[in-house]
């Protein structure tokens, strides 16, 4: 599992990004400024830093330069600055990628995977779920010669449920995994995607792999196993 630091001074934005990345299977650490991120770096082997440029104290570009001077850690800039000059400055400093807010959470997770592949640190994560083999990096679900064709939203929900093992995940949290703006979205979309998942994964097994926690959310019937 990759360790990702989200460095963002806006609490709601930081927590939303962190929640979405946890749903995508990352181990996420939060920092509100460069000082907090430095402390994380002393305590944890981070794989990627998702860095906002508008930080208090040490500004984001200065901190990006510091990170790149000290290590080859993956560095993704996420900022409201859309001007070409800002993008060029960040990439010249050694940033691996540059995204302009508002960021699609699924795209951010994919950009992190891309950075890890380019760095040669891609670690395949495969799990057994019922009779299925789930490759969380390749985003495939298969058994024998059969593949379950999942949409992005269906796979993202499945990945979040797998991360929780057999613990309950609330519908609101699952909604945050699949939606750019969870507050404006409809919880019923989660129910629809889970229903589709069940049809695609349970039709040959008989028993459902996903259980409903009435009034709260969903969980896996059994925790995924190592292949």
Domain boundary among 69, 84, 118: 118
pLDDT band per the 50, 70, 90 thresholds, residue 227: low
DSSP track, 177-208: HH-SSGGGS-THHHHHHHHHHHHHHHTTTSS-
Mean pLDDT score of the chain: 85
- What pLDDT is recorded for position 177? 82
Same domain, 8 and 92: yes
Domain boundary among 96, 118, 140: 118
User: Who has greater pLDDT, 86 or 122?
Assistant: 86
Same domain, 25 and 103: yes
Q: Strands 140-143, 146-147: parallel, antiparallel or unpaired by DSSP?
A: antiparallel
* CATH number of the domain within which 59 lies: 3.40.50.2300
pLDDT band per the 50, 70, 90 thresholds, residue 168: very high
Same domain, 93 and 112: yes
pLDDT band per the 50, 70, 90 thresholds, residue 90: confident
Same domain, 156 and 113: no
Count of residues making up the chain? 227
pLDDT band per the 50, 70, 90 thresholds, residue 50: very high
pLDDT band per the 50, 70, 90 thresholds, residue 204: low
Same domain, 16 and 110: yes
Same domain, 113 and 132: no
Q: Are 101 and 125 in contact (CB under 8 A)?
A: no
Position 225 in a domain = no
Same domain, 75 and 182: no
CA gap 200, 150 in Å, rounded: 8
pLDDT of 158 higher than 90: yes
pLDDT of 59 higher than 70: yes
Q: Are 182 and 172 in contact (CB under 8 A)?
A: yes
Q: What is the pTM of this model?
A: 0.56
- What pLDDT is recorded for position 206? 60
- Domain around 177: 126-220
Same domain, 75 and 33: yes
- What pLDDT is recorded for position 94? 85
The torsion of the CA quartet 88, 179, 106, 12, rounded to 10 degrees, works out to 50
Domain boundary among 84, 118, 152: 118
User: How many domains is the chain built from?
Assistant: 2
Give per-residue pLDDT as tens, 110-152. 888 888 877 655 455 678 898 898 988 778 899 877 889 899 8
DSSP track, 119-164: TT-----EEEETTEEEETTTTEEEETTEE----HHHHHHHHHHHHT
Segment 199-205 mean pLDDT = 73
* CATH number of the domain within which 143 lies: 1.10.10.10
Position 216 in a domain = yes
Segment 68-94 mean pLDDT = 86
User: Who has greater pLDDT, 83 or 158?
Assistant: 158
Same domain, 20 and 108: yes
Position 80 in a domain = yes
| Among 7-21, 135-149, 210-224, the least confident range | 135-149
- What pLDDT is recorded for position 180? 59
């Amino acid at each position: 599992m990759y360790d990702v630091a989200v460095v963002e001074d806006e609490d709601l934005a930081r927590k939303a990004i962190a929640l979405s990345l946890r749903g995508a299977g990352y181990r996420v650490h939060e920092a509100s400024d460069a000082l907090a991120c430095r402390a994380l770096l002393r305590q944890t082997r981070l794989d990627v830093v998702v860095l906002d440029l508008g930080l208090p104290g040490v500004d984001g570009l200065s901190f990006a330069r510091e990170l790149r001077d000290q290590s080859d850690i993956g560095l993704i800039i996420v900022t409201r600055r859309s001007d070409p000059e800002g993008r060029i400055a960040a990439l010249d400093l050694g940033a691996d990628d540059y995204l302009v807010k508002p960021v699609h959470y699924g795209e951010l997770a994919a950009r992190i995977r891309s950075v890890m592949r380019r760095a040669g640190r891609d670690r395949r994560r495969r799990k057994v779920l019922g009779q299925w083999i789930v490759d969380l990096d390749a985003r495939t679900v298969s058994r024998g010669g059969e593949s379950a064709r999942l949409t992005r939203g269906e796979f993202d929900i499945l990945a979040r449920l797998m991360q929780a093992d057999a613990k309950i995940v609330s519908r609101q949290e699952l909604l945050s995994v699949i939606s750019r703006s969870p507050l404006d979205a409809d919880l019923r979309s989660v129910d629809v995607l889970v229903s589709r998942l069940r049809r695609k994964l349970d039709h040959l097994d008989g028993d459902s792999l996903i259980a409903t926690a009435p009034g709260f959310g969903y969980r896996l019937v059994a925790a995924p196993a190592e292949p």
